[in-house]
A and B are shown apart, each in its own frame.
Chain A
Amino acid sequence: MNRTYELMFIVRPDMAEEDLDKLISTLETAVSTTSGTVKSVERMGKRRLAYTVRRFHEGVYILLTVEGTGTVIHELERRLRVTEPVIKFLSVRIDQEQKRLDKIKAIRDARKKTSAAPAAAPEGGGEAAPATA
């Protein structure tokens, strides 16, 4: 069963750009070896941390959206825990929430359509009635 996960992690601010590229590419290969797919990689840039983490006041935020089974996220979390420059990470399952949002959006759209075109419905009913009689 495929699920969508969001993996946000913070690396130390003094990390070199090439090292970061390398880290991301290793994570991507780890995802593909565990039969998952990387949907998107977003670098949110350097941000100030709300509290000190390992004596750092700021960090580079990276957001990874991954699709796959639980083993993918398990492997990624293990890797992040082992990788020294990563100071914090958070993985969130987002497909359920997205499904809920889509449902709400569909309901709202349907409501808009019915309120926008209420005159069309009675006309169709009127035509159908004589045809059957």
Chain B
Amino acid sequence: MAEETKAPTATAEGPGGSESHGPRPGGRGPRPGGPGGPREGGRKYFRRKKVCKFCVEKIENINYKDVRLLAQFVAESGKIVPRRLTGVCTPHQRRLSSAIKMARNIALLPFAGRAS
């Protein structure tokens, strides 16, 4: 009785486990050599290299009065966008954040939420 009950469970696991997992590595194996190869090995999304806007356009004067410039680096929620998202270099981000904070103080930019 005990053997009979064990047997069906084992067989039920067998086809589900071995058939579904078994062929997949074999099926994917040849692909890297094929046309889809390079994509599989490298990154799936091609990301453009971020560059510091202030270095590229040679903007040295990051002024708190220049709302249009500062607004590009403020999220919709009013937060300062981090460097890792915008690609701004450290010295410029430092000046930028202080300029944004000054602009907030004089009600040119919001502390939170959209300017409305």
Indicate the size class of the contact surface on chain A: 10 to 19
Q: What's the tally of chain B residues with a CB closer than 8 Å to chain A? A: 16
B interface with A by C-beta (< 8 Å): 58, 60-61, 64-65, 102, 104-111, 113, 115
A60 CB to closest chain B CB (Å) equals 12
Partner of B108, one of A50, A89, A101, A104: A50
Interface of B is mostly: loop
A90 near B102: Cβ-Cβ < 8 Å: yes
Question: Residue A24 at the B interface, CB < 8 A?
Answer: no
A49 CA to B111 CA, complexed, in Å: 11
Which residue of chain B has its CB nearest to the CB of A6?
B65
Contacts A50-B111, A51-B111, A89-B106 aside, 9 further interface pairs with beta carbons under 8 A come to A8-B65, A8-B106, A51-B107, A51-B110, A90-B102, A90-B105, A92-B64, A97-B61, A101-B61
